[in-house]
Structure 1
Amino acid sequence: MENIKVPTIDQFYLPEWLTMELIASNIISFTPLFSYGTTILSIQKKKTSLGFSIDICATMLIAASLRICYYFIIPYEQALLRQSIVMIFIQLLLLRTSLKFRPREYDFDLLEQYDGNLKMDLVREYHEWDKKQGKFGMELLVLVQGILKSVLNRFINFFDSKYQRIGSFWQWNNELMYWKFLFRFTLTMSFLTWVFNDYLKFGEFLGTIGLFVESLLPLPQILLLKKLKHVQGFKLLLLVSWLGGDFTKIGYLIFGAKNISGIFLFFALFQMSLDFYIGYQYVYYKYYYIPEPQSVELYELRV
């Protein structure tokens, strides 16, 4: 009997161009569409942006703009450039949606005035140090600690949405002020990038500032959750996407990226640590925190 050859299916191979590096780079580039897109849909559905800090929009718009300017002076991975462009697009949509459904609680006139005065705090710390007797080294250490604590508190309170900021920055009641600021900021940075295009130090400065601002992304949300003492309005999916983006970005920077400065990795790790703290807040306020009777009444009125 004549042997009949049965056709076989060749083993499946991925195209040469479809590499893990390409897949990872595209995940990094377009993750913001998913993570922040779900937040936009949630705000539209609930018709309120209560629980979401619009400072996140300011942080990412400024950071992404600075990263793009940095690229034109010191080019880096195109995947990170695409991410910055996509981030600006989705953050503009998120800002527009958040302002449209902005609750009354976020009006500037209803925010608290910060009692602390940095100059007075520093003077007080100095007088306390001057009055103490003992070993000079130990007293000086206490003075430095007090000064650093005062400066840090002032810095953190700037990101706290419950306090009024100088010039009501990013707390304006008029929506047009947000778009004016973004237009002026973009125009100014574009002009400076064009003027100092050949100055590598200026590019490094822009890159460092942009990465530092982006690493502070979770800070306004941390302070807002601390103020509200509940997680209503904050999407768990947003936190998961942040952490997923952190791991993906760090993995890409370590194993896939080329021509990347170490500051990218440093600030990525710092941002991830803040995201983990938000995770702790989410679990605590959702499952373990017992609100005071007055807080319960305010929460019921809010709902």
Structure 2
Amino acid sequence: MGYLFAKLKFEQINHHRHYSCYLFIITAFLLLGCTNATNNNTNNVHEGLFENIKQYGNYILEKIQESIDYNLTTTALNETVNENQTSTFYRPIPISSFRIFIMRILEGSAVLFMIFGGVLPYIPQYLVIKKTKNAEGFSNYVCLTLLVANIIRIEFWFGKHFETPLLIQSIVMIICMLIMLELWTRVHSQAMGGDSSSDTSSQISNSKEQLTEVSDRRFMDFEVNYFWRWTTFSSYLQFLFIFTVILSIITWLFRYNLVYIETIGLVAVFCEALLGVPQFVRNFRLKSTEGMSVKMVILWTSGDIFKTIYFIIRNAPKQFWLCGILQISIDVAILGQ
């Protein structure tokens, strides 16, 4: 009996009212049997009493066992029905999975645009220079600004890691600026007498910005007056190589200096923020925007707006988005010109 009631407890069968009723009936019949045996003066009072206890005990055990079997069967049936309903009729619609899929597509698109979007503004300018064979409308100091800014940003990454897409963006931008610089150097050298044609002198005299001499100028000449006005593309590569090596050595020596790391991070984004300044100064000095691609400036502005919002949302270091705001202001000023 103890084992049975313990089993009933663990099976959590809530039919105690029926069991109480059974016990009450058994007790009543026992008292009735005992009273009858006393009235009849039989000698088998105890035998009749124990026999009744045994009979009613077996009866209650049978009822309890039937109740247990019934409840176990009902519980198993309900679980089976619930499983079938869940798997067949009540399967949840994966709305959240679709939403996550869309968000991942948007996030991936934003990352790709962040990496390659900076290249887009220079495609129209590249095509204009290549088509017209005239590089006057584009300032090669824009290339200098972006090359220095992105080299410093890569050095900043070694001291303080930021998002990988921003690192890849710097590498892509360096490649883009080298391509632009190569085209500008080739076209500008030809226009300033690199091809030694008969009409070169007239082009020089009519140019609004002239070199004092037509002879080749190289980086290894170490002439300050002709800094970043060299006539060979290899001279620019030599300068960038030496600049990168020196900066890398300094960064390695001060890699654990927090002040130095934060400073080069600020210098990197500040240089990039001043990207449009050379173009603005050139336009102001020449009193003309001829040769400058308006599409390039519009793409500058839209790209800088997107980039600044991206920096803020992605919790990039504050140097990034503060200088992004400055960059947008300069873009608007150039559009005003």
Bin of the TM-score, shorter chain as denominator length: 0.5 to 0.7
Native 8 Å contact 2:111 2:165 kept in 1: yes
Of residues 224, 230, 237, the one that matches 1:172 is 230
1:194 aligns with 2:252: yes
1:82 aligns with 2:138: no
Count the aligned residue pairs. 217
- The amino acid across from 1:48 in the alignment is N
User: 1:33 corresponds to which residue?
Assistant: 119
Native 8 Å contact 1:53 1:221 kept in 2: yes
Q: Whole-Å Cα distance in 2 between the matches of residues 272 and 192 of structure 1?
A: 31
Instruction: Please show how residues 241-256 of structure 1 align to structure 2 within 5 Å.
Output: 241-255=299-313
Shift of 1:107: 4.6
Native 8 Å contact 2:185 2:231 kept in 1: no
Of residues 243, 266, 269, the one that matches 2:325 is 269
Provide TM-score, normalisation by structure 2: 0.60
The change in CA–CA distance for 1:217 and 1:90 in structure 2 (over 3 A counts) is same
Native 8 Å contact 1:39 1:238 kept in 2: yes
The change in CA–CA distance for 1:53 and 1:249 in structure 2 (over 3 A counts) is same
- The amino acid across from 1:170 in the alignment is W
Native 8 Å contact 2:125 2:293 kept in 1: yes
Q: Whole-Å Cα distance in 2 between the matches of residues 191 and 42 of structure 1?
A: 39
Shift of 1:252: 0.6
Indicate the structure whose relative CO is greater, using CA pairs within 8 Å and at least 6 residues apart. 1
Q: Whole-Å Cα distance in 2 between the matches of residues 58 and 98 of structure 1?
A: 12
Q: Whole-Å Cα distance in 2 between the matches of residues 196 and 17 of structure 1?
A: 40
Q: Whole-Å Cα distance in 2 between the matches of residues 98 and 54 of structure 1?
A: 7
Q: Whole-Å Cα distance in 1 between the matches of residues 140 and 148 of structure 2?
A: 13
- The amino acid across from 1:36 in the alignment is Y
User: 1:230 corresponds to which residue?
Assistant: 288
Across the aligned residues of Structure 1 and Structure 2, the Cα RMSD in angstroms comes to 2.4
Shift of 1:192: 2.1
Q: Whole-Å Cα distance in 1 between the matches of residues 212 and 174 of structure 2?
A: 29
Of residues 260, 272, 277, the one that matches 1:214 is 272
Q: Whole-Å Cα distance in 2 between the matches of residues 68 and 176 of structure 1?
A: 22
Shift of 1:203: 1.3
Query: Could you tell me the percent identity over the aligned residues?
Result: 31
Shift of 1:16: 6.0
User: 1:239 corresponds to which residue?
Assistant: 297
Instruction: Please show how residues 1-303 of structure 1 align to structure 2 within 5 Å.
Output: 13=98, 15=101, 18-102=104-188, 103-104=191-192, 105=207, 106-109=209-212, 166-255=224-313, 257-258=314-315, 260-281=316-337
**Cα deviations across residues 181-224 of structure 1 (Å, max 9, x unaligned)?**
11111111222222322222221111111111111111110111
Shift of 1:174: 4.4
**Cα deviations across residues 148-176 of structure 1 (Å, max 9, x unaligned)?**
xxxxxxxxxxxxxxxxx944221234443
Q: Structure 2 stretches of 5 or more lacking a match?
A: 1-93, 193-206, 214-222
**Cα deviations across residues 220-260 of structure 1 (Å, max 9, x unaligned)?**
101111122222211111111101111111111122x13x2
